[in-house]
Amino acid sequence: MRIYGQVRFGQLATLRLLDARQYRSPHACTRDGKLGSSRVDPATCAAWMDPARTMLGAEQERWLTESLARGAGEAGWNLLGQTTLFGPRDFKPGAGTSLWNDGWDGYTPARQRLVDALRKHRVANPVLLGGDVHENWVGHVLADYADPASASVGVEFCGTSITARSGSNAKAAEFLAENPHFVFADAQRKGYGIAEFTPQRLTVSLRVVDDVAARDTTIETLARFAVQAGRPAIETV
Q: Return the CA Rg of the chain.
A: 18
Q: Which residues contact 219 (CB under 8 A, 6 or more apart)?
A: 191, 207, 208, 209, 210
Spatial separation of the C-alpha atoms in residues 82 and 196, rounded to whole Å: 18
pLDDT digits 0-9 by tens, 100-150: 999 999 999 999 999 999 999 999 999 999 999 999 999 999 999 999 999
- Name residue 182's beta-bridge partners: 139
CATH of domain 5-189: 3.60.21.70
- Name residue 127's beta-bridge partners: 79, 155
Q: What is the reported pLDDT for 32?
A: 84
Query: For the ranges 30-34, 113-117, 128-132, 203-207, which has the lowest average pLDDT?
Result: 30-34
Domain boundaries, given as residue ranges, for the chain: 5-189
Query: Of 159, 113, 115, whose CA–CA distance to 133 is shortest?
Result: 159
Q: How many CB atoms lie within 10 A of CB 231?
A: 12
